[in-house]
C-alpha cells in the first residue's frame, strides 16, 4: 500500500569513531576504527519509512556543498522525494560526531549547519499540509518545529529529540508524542523516571490530547493513552550500534498509522524495526526493509 508521509527534520553527515568506552571530560582515548555514513534524525526517519514501503517527502535543508549533494543523492536513491529540501549557499551541511562503544551505545555531538536555518517558510508547504502523517524531530529550530506541527492537517508525530522544552500549545496539537525517558523528563521538568509508574505519571503531566509512546531502550516501550497503559516488550537481538534505533521506531509508527493500523500493532511493528536497526553499524545503513521486519516477526512466533 502506498502511503503519504512528510518528514520535517535534519539531514546530517555522520562521522563515527569506535571506542572501547566513552571519554570523560578532559580525557583523550584511542579509537579502533572510523567510518562515515548518511544520517540526521529527519533523513534517517525518511529513509526508514521509505524502506518500509511508504511514499515519503523530506522537508529540510543542506549546504551547497559536495556533502549535501551526496546526501540528497542518497535520499533520492532510497525513494525519498527531496523536492522540498532547500540548498543553502552560506552555511555548510550539518554533521554529527559519534563515538560508538563496545556495547553498541553511542554519544553524539551535532553541528547543525544548514539544519539550523530551516525556516517557518521551509516547513509551511503544501506537502506538509497534504500528508497523511507528518513526522517531526527537534534537530531544526523550535520555530520551524512549531510551524510544521501547526501547519499539518494529518496525523502529527513529534519525536522530541534532542531534548528541549516544547510549548503547551504545540504539544496540544501533537497526536503521537514519542520521547524516551530523558526527553520526557525535560518536557515535564522532572527527574528522569526510574520505574514504569513514574513514566506514566510524567506522561500524564503533559498538556495533550493525543497518545504518548515512551521508548525504553532495552525495556521496550509504553503506550500511554490517558488511564490506558500498554507495555510493548522488546525484541531480543545482538546489539551492534544503537544510533538509529529510535529513528527506525518512529518511522515504523508513521508507516503503521498512515496505513490505518491500530496503535498496538503499530508500536509492535516499531519495536521490531527499532531492534533490527541496532544489529548493523551506521544510521541509514542499519535501517530495515519491510521484508526484513516481516521475516523477523515471523521468526519470533
Active-site amino acid positions: 247
202, 170, 171: which is closest to 186 by C-alpha?
202
Contact (CB, 8 A) for 16 and 281 = yes
What are 126's three cell numbers? 503544501
106, 122, 105: which is closest to 114 by C-alpha?
122
Per the listing, cell 541509514 goes with: 284
Contact (CB, 8 A) for 6 and 135 = yes
- State the Cα angle at 182 between 287 and 108, rounded to 5°: 50
φ, ψ of residue 19 to 5 degrees: the values are -135, 150
Task: Provide DSSP, 84-114.
Answer: EEEEESSSPPEEEEEEE-TTS-EEEEEE-GG
* Rounded Cα distance, 163 and 156, in Å: 18
* Rounded Cα distance, 212 and 175, in Å: 8
* Cβ-based neighbours of 12, under 8 Å, separated by 6 or more: 38, 39, 40, 43, 71, 93, 94, 95, 96, 110, 113, 115, 139
Amino acid at each position: 500500500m502506498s502511503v503519504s508521509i512528510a518528514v520535517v527534520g535534519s539531514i546530517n553527515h555522520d562521522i563515527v569513531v569506535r571506542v572501547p568506552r566513552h571519554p570523560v571530560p578532559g580525557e583523550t582515548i584511542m579509537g579502533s576504527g572510523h567510518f562515515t555514513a548518511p544520517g540526521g534524525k529527519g533523513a534517517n526517519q525518511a529513509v526508514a519509512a521509505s524502506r518500509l514501503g511508504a511514499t515519503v517527502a523530506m522537508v529540510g535543508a543542506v549546504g551547497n556543498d559536495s556533502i549535501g549533494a551526496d546526501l540528497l543523492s542518497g535520499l533520492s536513491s532510497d525513494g525519498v522525494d527531496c523536492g522540498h529540501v532547500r540548498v543553502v549557499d552560506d552555511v555548510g551541511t550539518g554533521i554529527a560526531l559519534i563515538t560508538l562503544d563496545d556495547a553498541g551505545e553511542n554519544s553524539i555531538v551535532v553541528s547543525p549547519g544548514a539544519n539550523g536555518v530551516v525556516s517557518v517558510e521551509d516547513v509551511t508547504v503544501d506537502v506538509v499540509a497534504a500528508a497523511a502523517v507528518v513526522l517531526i524531530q527537534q534537530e531544526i529550530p523550535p520555530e520551524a518545529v512549531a510551524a510544521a506541527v501547526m501547519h499539518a492537517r494529518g496525523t502529527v508525530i513529534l519525536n522530541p529529540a534532542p531534548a528541549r522544552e516544547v510549548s503547551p500549545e504545540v504539544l496540544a496539537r501533537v497526536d503521537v508524542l514519542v520521547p524516551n525517558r530523558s526527553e520526557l523528563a525535560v518536557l515535564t521538568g522532572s527527574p528522569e523516571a526510574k520505574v514504569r509508574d513514574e513514566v506514566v505519571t510524567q506522561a500524564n503531566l503533559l498538556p495533550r490530547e493525543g497518545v504518548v509512546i515512551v521508548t525504553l531502550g532495552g525495556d521496550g516501550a509504553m503506550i500511554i493513552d490517558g488511564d490506558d497503559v500498554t507495555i510493548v516488550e522488546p525484541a531480543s537481538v545482538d546489539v551492534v550500534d544503537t544510533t538509529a534505533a529510535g529513528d527506525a521506531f518512529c518511522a515504523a509508527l508513521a508507516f503503521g498509522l498512515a496505513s490505518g493500523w491500530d496503535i498496538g500493532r503499530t508500536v509492535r511493528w516499531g519495536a521490531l524495526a527499532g531492534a533490527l536497526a541496532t544489529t548493523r553499524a551506521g544510521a541509514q545503513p542499519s535501517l530495515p526493509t519491510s521484508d526484513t521486519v516481516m521475516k523477523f516477526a515471523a521468526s519470533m512466533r
